[in-house]
């Protein structure tokens, strides 16, 4: 997404969210910029900010951990599966995609 214009970035994100939400067991999707601000969300404002606040801490902690073990390493993907949800976190160079889905679905991302 590096050399896209702002408008192209927005269209790229809209298209990504559209495709992601077509997966039948995806419940929500969220795109966060690198400053932690929501760029796009399928959730309410309140839930969006809660997810950003909480997941942002996990992503930061995982990034910190990685740089302590290997300063040249960088997170490319996180999957956090729990009894009731599965969350996929994919950092891009300009934003972070966060997708929430049913952990028991056969059609998972």
84 binds a second copy (CB under 8 A): yes
Per CB under 8 A, the list member of 45, 46, 74, 106 interacting with a second copy is 74
82 binds a second copy (CB under 8 A): yes
- Shortest distance, position 91 Cβ to a second copy, whole Å: 10
- Give the sheet arrangement for strand 26-33, strand by strand: 38-41, 26-33, 95-101, 86-91
75 binds a second copy (CB under 8 A): yes
Query: Tokens for 108?
Result: 């998972």
Nearest to 17 by CA among 27, 36, 30, 5: 30
38 binds a second copy (CB under 8 A): no
- Shortest distance, position 85 Cβ to a second copy, whole Å: 7
Note the residues at the interface with a second copy (CB under 8 A): 50-51, 54-55, 57-58, 61-62, 64-66, 68-70, 72-85, 103
């Amino acid at each position: 997404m590096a050399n896209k214009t702002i408008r192209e970035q927005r269209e790229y994100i809209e298209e990504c969210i559209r495709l992601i939400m077509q997966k039948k067991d995806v419940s929500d999707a969220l795109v966060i910029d690198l400053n932690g601000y929501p760029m796009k969300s399928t959730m309410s404002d309140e839930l969006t900010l809660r997810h950003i606040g909480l997941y942002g801490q996990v992503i930061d902690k995982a990034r910190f951990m990685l740089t302590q073990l290997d300063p040249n390493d960088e997170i490319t993907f996180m999957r956090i599966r729990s009894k009731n949800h599965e969350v996929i976190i994919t950092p891009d160079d300009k934003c972070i995609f966060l997708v929430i889905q049913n952990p028991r679905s056969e059609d998972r991302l």
